[in-house]
Amino acid sequence: MGLYDSYQKEVLEASLWLLKHGYFGSLRGTGGNVSARIAGHDGMAITPSSVKYSDLTPADICIVDFTGAVVEGKYAPSIEAGMHAAIYRERPDVNAVVHTHQLYGSIFAALGRPIPVLFDEVAFALGESVEVAPYALSGSPELAANVAKTLVNRANACIIQNHGILALGKNMDKALLAAELLEKIAHIYCLALSTGKPVTLLPDATREMARSLRDYDVEQARKKS
């Protein structure tokens, strides 16, 4: 078994799950990307660019370092590899990143509007708010910088203006859960706004508790890095 086999398998399985459940926006497209940090290395396993997920094998998942250099793989890595690397550098608590074009999350990307998390379970998993990273061209250093700057809030998700969403986790399962919870809260918030009635927010004390838990996780990860 090779050094990267488990990471490649994990990334492919997550990609196929997201594809099956409609998180990439199209069953035929290649939109979105998934990565996993390689423990003990400044590198990651990441989906390749412009190859249908349904056509991939684990060996097709690219291994790249955080400068973007390809370590292993026959395909070019996702054009968003720089954005994933920027997240891993900024957030030592994050070991998996999911970038999707899921429907309700993308509504708020089009609106350029943050999503308040509204429920306890979402606050503790994602943070006290899902903020918006300013638009920049896909794959550009500007987009990577905008995302990294937004995620200093230590949340486990953010919206990319006029683009899509990002979900993060200390492992792949947590990153997928973050994507699910973001879609849930985006759907509920969209419907709540459509009523024209005020949307109630979580109490300040609960939001502060969620912030404190996220701060603790990040600081513990920094100490270990």
By DSSP bridging, strand 33-37 and strand 43-46 are antiparallel
Task: Decide: residue 156, CB within 10 A, 0-12 exposed, 13-18 middle, 19+ buried.
Answer: buried
C-alpha pair distances (Å), 183 with each of 4, 58, 188, 223 = 30, 27, 9, 32
**What single-letter amino acid sits at 75?**
Y
Task: Give yes or no: 80 in active site.
Answer: yes
How far from 109 is each of 39, 134, 135, 163, CA to CA, in Å?
32, 10, 9, 6
* Contact call for residues 115 and 189 (beta carbons, < 8 A): yes
Residue 77 DSSP label = B
Which residue out of 10, 80, 128, 183 is catalytically annotated?
80
Instruction: Kindly list the distances between the CA atom of residue 223 and the CA atoms of 39, 140, 216, 217, 218, in Å, as whole numbers in the listed order.
Output: 15, 30, 11, 10, 9
| Residues identified as active-site | 80
